[in-house]
Amino acid sequence: MSHSHKETQTHGHQHSHSHSHAHSHAHSHTHDASKNLLLALILNVGFAIIELIGGLFTNSVAILSDALHDFGDAFSLGIAWYLQKVSNRPPDEIYSYGYRRFSLLGSLVVSLVLVIGVSFMVREAFERLLDPKEANAVGMFWLSVLGIAINGFAALNVKKGKSHNERAVYLHLLEDALGWIAVFISSIFMIFFHLPFLDPLMSIAISVFILFNVFRNLRSVVRILLMEAPGHIDLESLKSAIRRIKNIRELDDVHLWTQDGENHILTLQVVVSEKMGVKNLCVIKDKIRKLAIEQGIEHSTIEFCSEKENRAQKH
């Protein structure tokens, strides 16, 4: 027992107007998100250059390590800005599920670049810790004030966005601002006390913090690529609710996965009683879709089969 052509046409007609409105809203939101990310990218690149020069001028390995982090952030911001456009491309004959997973590829590249870069900076910081060199504490102080102002402004600008990319970028920029607050505090101590070891110590602390977040992000990306079901959705509870719908006998081949951590997909085969008309199937389908949407699953593919067909499939 399967959907008729007439049923598919009716279902498509019912949703055509809302899809058009959603597409228009999505296009407008994508444009705003791209603008927010582009501004954050420009500010980040500009400040990373200032930071690199300032780190060399002040002889601060903490500032140099954060400059490297900022260049990595700028790289990720550039990818995020580009993928904000790419990921909204509609499905085509090459990528039938669309382009949303391109953001995961970008995340992998950025994470690997950061791991390599931070590893070099940790090595440099340990060498400085064993043989401390005097850093320009006053220069560090003023650079940290600038860092807090620029990263704070960029973070607040992106915070108003709603896309997954913008939220991820906001967390990156917030990390930057916190890192600069740490440099600000250590520079004050270094102005009044002779503590040359404090700078490489701060560099190691910032590097560990960055690596912790990078590995946490990598773990999340790998789980998505391995088709893990979204952790916040109770699949067993959802299946129980679907089974309670009238005329449903059993569920088979239930699969739940996520494209990019935000857009979830459910596929399932619904076993129904033998004599079911198209109208009744549509009612069941709408009820399943509503239950899925309540759990944050926007895309559901539902196949129907009779009890007789189901028995034949299992044998």
Picking from 104, 84, 106, the residue whose alpha carbon sits closest to that of residue 27 is: 84
Question: Exposed, middle or buried, 75 (CB in 10 Å: 0-12/13-18/19+)?
Answer: buried
CA distances from 82 to 42, 46, 92, 120 (A): 14, 19, 19, 28
Cα distances (Å, whole numbers) of residue 156 to 37, 39, 74, 167, 237 = 12, 12, 17, 11, 38
Cα–Cα distance for residue pair 14/66, rounded to 1 Å:
53
CA distance 76 to 82: 10
For residue 284, the model assigns a pLDDT of 94
For 179-205, letters b (16+ CB in 10 Å) and e give: bbebbbebbeebeeeeebebbbbbbbb
pLDDT of residue 309: 81
pLDDT score, position 251: 93
Position 210 scores a pLDDT of 76
Determine the pLDDT at residue 255.
Answer: 96
Q: Sketch out the chain's domains with CATH numbers.
A: 17-225 (1.20.1510.10), 235-314 (3.30.70.1350)
> Hey, which residues does 257 pair with through a beta bridge?
265
86: closest CA among 65, 101, 97?
101
Give pLDDT < 70 ranges for the chain.
1-34, 62, 66, 160-168, 315
Predicted local confidence at residue 3, as pLDDT: 43
Give the model confidence (pLDDT) of 22-56 as tens digits: 344 444 444 566 677 778 788 878 888 887 888 88
Task: Kindly provide the residue ranges of all beta strands, DSSP E only, lying in the chain, ordered along the sequence.
Answer: 248-258, 264-272, 299-306
Q: Taking every pair of C-alpha atoms in the chain, what is the biggest distance, in angstroms?
A: 86
Residue 281: its pLDDT value, please? 92
58 closest CA partner among 105, 3, 66, 8? 66
pLDDT at residue 277, rounded to an integer: 84
Amino acid 39 reads L
- What's the pTM? 0.68
Name the amino acid, one letter, at 107: S
Strand-pairing partners, residue 305, are: 271
β 264-272/299-306 pair status: parallel
- The per-type count for the chain, helices as H runs and strands as E runs, is 9, 3
CA 273 to chain centre: 42
pLDDT at site 25: 44
